């Protein structure tokens, strides 16, 4: 995938984008290392005691403590301490991966992984997990099986170090675990070290991806203040404000970031995103065009331009041409055929969209958004077996509420009411909403468990204050579960939602049983009008019309 890299200054863009009167963000708190001057190393007595102190500093995982820990490890190695070279490798790797902006300030210790004999139990437990610091590294079942117990052991060995919970958070994040679990690990790392910026960045990512940014913007702003450089802090502020629905704040932060890092195109892109979020899509396109003239390989800029051309300019030919050109230049990038598929789905060109999605899936077989789109398009086409196969590829912990709703629908389509009930139960555990209880009740009715369905329905009606359309559905389901007065429940359903086709159809059946065919016909016709694709309702309306005519 094309990546954002630094490029030359952009005076035209800078002049156009920088805003006046922007607020500033103060520097993050200074970190003081427990350093030992070169002439004081003798106080540790032996290389082993020097190494022990180095490990303690490495475990603290601040930029200064890592640099000092590396220096002490190198000194311990010169004194012949076993495992000192390996400690230096671990510390150097942590410094480069956690704080790339600081790593250049400290000299390399000249050691390599070939020399990484490690004797510290803590570092032995941490070292295999350092691969997680590579943003492109995957975490499959085998890797998780190895790393989980090692990180748990490291957490016990060094209960003050933020590294074990932070690395656990990265592992869970890469495994698409529930966001609450990921969040708990990053929070645990910050509890151990309140200024540990890598965990602050991870927690901010989790908040944004969970959709809770609007209610947690102050926390996102605090987390941004913990990042080590001003450009990083302003970029985090802009992303948090965008996720929180505050495009004007995002634009302000992006402009301030651009002032401090005029060679960084990420701030220009953030500015374009803020303009688009504020509804100024025309200006956003202008900024994107200027940016792409300088950097035609920026994936996010290309995707945003294609989306704006489709959503706002309603210029699908140009939008698809932008994506087609990108696919030609970057054939291994799945994001372009995925976006093309989304546009084709909006245009109703389902078959072409599925072809694009399948290509995207070939390029990125574990991408959850692509898999989710394949699930939904298969379900819409009522291709239940195919939809079930796609859903099975999404790991259980990574399934969203929408995935679970589709799973319920797919299971019903396959006639597997027990599996449908399982999806409904999972959905309720995730969302605690009345609509999940409605799905539970439907599955129980399908499994001929009316008494259990009635318990669920009454709980949803009495304890959860559902909105009128959902209350209408629940009253209808109550009538089907054997309530004492089904007609009362059906009328209650229509009071809540006069357009409830299921309740209208059920009342038509009730009136037909009483041989009041004229009124039954009226209800059935209205239900059929509300659900024009329901052949059974259309047939019912025709039959009741015939009976009503015969009864005159």
Residue matched to tokens 């209800």: 523
Question: What are the DSSP calls for 43-96, one per residue?
Answer: GG-SHHHHHHHHHHHHHH--HHHHHHHHHHHHHHHHTT-TTHHHHHHHHHHHHH
Asked if residues 136 and 160 have their Cβ atoms less than 8 Å apart, the reply is no
pLDDT mean across residues, the chain: 89
Question: Among the listed ranges 74-88, 216-230, 380-394, which one has the minimum average pLDDT value?
Answer: 74-88
Quick one: average pLDDT of 374-401? 95
CB within 8 Å of 17: residues ≥ 6 apart = 254, 255, 258, 267, 268, 271, 287
pLDDT at 202 over 70: yes
Separation of alpha carbons 457 and 468, rounded Å = 14
pLDDT for res 286: 96
Name the DSSP class of 99: -
pLDDT-derived band at 285 (thresholds 50, 70, 90) equals very high
Separation of alpha carbons 96 and 133, rounded Å = 10
Of these ranges, 36-40, 284-288, 396-400, the one predicted with the greatest mean pLDDT is 284-288
pLDDT-derived band at 176 (thresholds 50, 70, 90) equals confident
Separation of alpha carbons 384 and 551, rounded Å = 43
Quick one: average pLDDT of 371-383? 97
pLDDT for res 105: 59
pLDDT for res 551: 82
pLDDT-derived band at 295 (thresholds 50, 70, 90) equals very high
Asked if residues 58 and 123 have their Cβ atoms less than 8 Å apart, the reply is yes
pLDDT for res 115: 53
pLDDT for res 30: 40
CA 332 to chain centre: 23
pLDDT for res 41: 55
pLDDT at 177 over 90: no
Quick one: average pLDDT of 528-550? 92
Query: Which is higher by pLDDT, 112 or 460?
Result: 460
Asked if residues 203 and 186 have their Cβ atoms less than 8 Å apart, the reply is yes
Half-sphere exposure of 378 (CA within 13 A, CB side): 25
Asked if residues 494 and 507 have their Cβ atoms less than 8 Å apart, the reply is yes
pTM comes to 0.78
Separation of alpha carbons 160 and 193, rounded Å = 8
Q: For residue range 62-84, what is the model confidence (pLDDT) as tens digits?
A: 999 999 999 999 999 999 999 99
pLDDT for res 29: 35
Q: For residue range 464-473, what is the model confidence (pLDDT) as tens digits?
A: 999 999 999 9
- Residue 359: Cβ within 10 Å count: 18
CB within 8 Å of 313: residues ≥ 6 apart = 281, 285, 319
pLDDT for res 453: 97
Q: For residue range 15-58, what is the model confidence (pLDDT) as tens digits?
A: 333 333 333 343 333 443 444 455 445 555 688 999 999 999 99
pLDDT at 533 over 80: yes
Share of the chain above pLDDT 70, in %: 89
**E strand intervals along 174-320:** none
Query: Which is higher by pLDDT, 398 or 393?
Result: 393
């Amino acid at each position: 995938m094309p990546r954002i890299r630094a490029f030359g200054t952009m005076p035209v863009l800078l002049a156009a984008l920088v805003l006046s009167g922007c607020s500033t963000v103060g520097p993050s708190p200074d970190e003081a290392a427990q350093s030992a001057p070169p002439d004081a190393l003798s106080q540790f007595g032996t290389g082993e005691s020097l190494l022990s102190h180095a490990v303690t500093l490495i475990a603290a995982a601040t930029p200064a403590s890592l640099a000092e820990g590396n220096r002490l490890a190198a000194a311990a190695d010169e004194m012949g301490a076993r495992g000192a070279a390996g400690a230096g490798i671990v510390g150097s790797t942590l410094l480069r991966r956690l704080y790339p902006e600081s790593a250049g300030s400290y000299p390399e210790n000249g050691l390599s992984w070939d020399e990484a004999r490690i004797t510290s139990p803590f570092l032995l437990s941490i070292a295999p997990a350092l691969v997680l610091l590579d943003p492109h590294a995957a975490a499959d079942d085998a890797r998780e099986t190895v790393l989980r117990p090692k990180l748990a052991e490291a957490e016990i060995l060094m209960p003050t170090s933020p590294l074990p919970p932070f690395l656990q958070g990265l592992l869970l994040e890469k495994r698409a675990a529930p966001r609450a679990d990921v969040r708990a690990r990053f929070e645990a790392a910050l509890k151990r070290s309140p200024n540990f910026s890598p965990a602050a960045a991870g927690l901010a990512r989790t908040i944004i991806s969970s959709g809770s940014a609007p209610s947690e913007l102050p926390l996102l702003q605090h987390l941004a203040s913990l990042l080590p450089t001003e450009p990083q802090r302003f970029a985090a502020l802009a992303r948090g404000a965008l996720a929180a629905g505050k495009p004007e704040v995002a634009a302000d932060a992006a402009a301030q970031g651009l002032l401090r890092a005029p060679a960084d195109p990420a701030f220009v892109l953030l500015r374009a995103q803020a303009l688009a979020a504020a509804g100024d899509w025309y200006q956003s396109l202008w900024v994107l065009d200027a940016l792409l003239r300088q950097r035609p390989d920026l994936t996010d800029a290309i995707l945003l331009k294609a989306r704006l051309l489709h959503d706002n300019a309603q210029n699908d030919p140009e939008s698809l041409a932008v994506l087609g050109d990108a696919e030609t230049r970057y054939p291994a990038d799945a994001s372009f055929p995925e976006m093309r598929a989304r546009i084709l789905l909006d245009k109703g060109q389902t078959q072409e969209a599925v072809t694009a999605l399948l290509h995207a899936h070939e390029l990125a077989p574990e991408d959850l958004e692509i898999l989710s789109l394949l699930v939904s398009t298969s379900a819409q086409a009522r291709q239940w077996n195919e939809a079930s196969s796609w859903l099975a590829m999404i790991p259980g912990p990574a399934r969203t509420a929408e995935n679970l709703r589709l799973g319920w629908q797919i299971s019903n389509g396959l006639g597997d009411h027990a599996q449908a009930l399982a999806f409904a139960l999972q959905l309720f555990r995730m969302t605690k909403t009345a609509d999940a209880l409605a799905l539970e009740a439907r599955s129980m009715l399908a499994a001929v468990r009316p008494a259990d369905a009635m318990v669920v329905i009454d709980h949803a009606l009495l304890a959860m204050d559902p909105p009128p359309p959902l209350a209408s559905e629940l009253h209808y389901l109550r009538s089907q579960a054997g309530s004492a007065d089904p007609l009362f429940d059906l009328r209650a359903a229509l009071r809540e939602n006069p357009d409830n086709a299921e309740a209208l159809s059920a009342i038509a059946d009730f009136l037909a049983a009483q041989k009041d065919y004229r009124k039954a016909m009226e209800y059935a016709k209205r239900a059929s009008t509300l659900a024009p694709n329901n052949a059974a309702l259309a047939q019912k309306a025709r039959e009741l019309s015939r009976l009503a005519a015969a009864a005159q």
